[in-house]
Amino acid sequence: MAERGAHLTTAAPAEDRPSIFEVLAQDSLMTAVKPALLHAVKILATSNPARYGVLWRRFDEIYAILDVLLQHHFLSRTSASFSENFYGLKRVGEGGTRAVHLGLRRRQHWRSLFLLALLPYLHTKLEKVLARQRDEDDFSIRLPQSFMQKLYRAFLAAYPFVCMAWDGWVFCQQLLYVFGKTRTHSPLLWLAGVKLSYLTANDIHGLDLKPSSPALRPSQSFGEKFQRLVSTAVGGVAVSLSTSLSIGVFFLQFLEWWYSSENQSTVKSLTSLPTPPPPIHLHSQETSHTHIKVCPLCRKVRTNDTALATSGYVFCYKCIYVFVKANHRCPLTGYPSGLQHLIKIYTPDG
């Protein structure tokens, strides 16, 4: 039985089409890198908010810029993305084979770069905007009045079905790829007009031969010299990023697994300690000292007490909700915080 189904997951000896396991492994590589880097940036921002807080607040933009540089470098030099080159794969255009070290054709290159780096960034920002709007709708009882508000509500209602349709397309494409009915396992490759294949011995030989860059001629214009210097600097940044990722990719995948939602129960059981009870003498002092009930934001007596789990400080619910939603940090300590870290405090007297 196993011998009869072996052809579904392995390519034929004379065929250069990668197996489904190889293409899915390279797809999961970059998706595992971003959460691990996000957690590392969160640790830095928590340890020193003044210095590294901007990395946490602008992580999506910084990651998108680095991802564009990295993918542009590999598409230009290896005709593949970073993860595809890591697994010994290359992109082949519909127009025929081409030397790998020459990169893809211009149209296929820019399509691939947009679908690899810019489209995930736009999807991430759209998800965050929709999440914030859903939170606002949860605290609002106003009905949509204008045409744009009604159109926005219709988009919110249709968006889950659009995502479901996309996931269904991806699943069907992968299923057809398993049975050899299509040359691409992903709709993104189909939209880019390319397919994946193995690197050959000639491709590896061409990549190993690093052509010597011509020296700057005195007759070159200032624009040409500046363009060459910028290209060299961008290439150096991309090489540094690729080398760092190649070395630390397995460590980053381990971090992503360790801090995944499926593993959080195990992590908490191993690392968490029981919360100690509050000191008994504070109960008598709380009724005599009014300044303990003052909100650090509005400087008035707290109403609807709410604690921020990242720092432990207590505020008015309205004050801390508005501040955390706008700034994503604790107003006193600067620790990165979200609305999920707000904890309502209830007292016996109501």
Amino acid at 279: P
Alpha-helical (H) ranges within 106-186 are 106-113, 119-138, 147-178
Q: What pLDDT band is residue 224 in, cutting at 50, 70 and 90? A: low
pLDDT of 210 reads: 53
pLDDT of 338 reads: 86
CA distance 286 to 328: 30
pLDDT of 250 reads: 63
Q: What is the mean pLDDT of residues 140-162?
A: 75
Model-level pTM? 0.63
pLDDT of 315 reads: 92
Q: Find the helix packing angle between 222-258 and 20-47, rounded to 10°.
A: 90
User: pLDDT per residue over 37-54, tens digit each?
Assistant: 887 888 888 888 888 888
| Cβ proximity of 92 and 18 under 8 Å | no
User: pLDDT per residue over 79-123, tens digit each?
Assistant: 888 888 888 888 888 766 677 767 788 888 899 999 999 999 999
pLDDT of 172 reads: 94
Count CB atoms within 10 A of the CB of residue 60. Answer: 15
User: pLDDT per residue over 160-195, tens digit each?
Assistant: 899 999 999 999 999 999 998 888 999 999 998 898
pLDDT of 142 reads: 55
Q: What pLDDT band is residue 286 in, cutting at 50, 70 and 90? A: very low
Q: Residues 6 or more apart from 199 whose CB is under 8 A from it?
A: 88, 89, 90, 100, 207
CA distance 136 to 326: 12
pLDDT of 220 reads: 59
| Cβ proximity of 94 and 193 under 8 Å | yes
CA distance 235 to 118: 19
pLDDT of 45 reads: 85
Q: What is the mean pLDDT of residues 278-306?
A: 68
User: pLDDT per residue over 252-284, tens digit each?
Assistant: 666 666 656 555 555 555 455 455 455 454 444
Nearest CA to 344 out of 310, 301, 315 is that of: 315
Average pLDDT of the chain is 76
Q: What is the mean pLDDT of residues 132-146?
A: 63
Stronger pLDDT, 305 or 2, i.e. the higher one? 305
User: pLDDT per residue over 330-345, tens digit each?
Assistant: 888 888 888 888 998 8
Q: What is the mean pLDDT of residues 309-329?
A: 89
pLDDT of 51 reads: 85
Q: What is the mean pLDDT of residues 201-224?
A: 61
Q: What pLDDT band is residue 212 in, cutting at 50, 70 and 90? A: very low
CA distance 121 to 128: 11
pLDDT of 307 reads: 92
Q: How many CA atoms lie within 13 A of 216 on its CB side?
A: 11
Q: 2 pLDDT exceeds 50? A: no
Most confident range, picked from 59-63, 102-106, 210-214: 59-63
CA distance 314 to 296: 8
Lowest mean pLDDT among 93-102, 128-137, 315-324: 93-102
pLDDT of 235 reads: 62
CA distance 340 to 324: 10
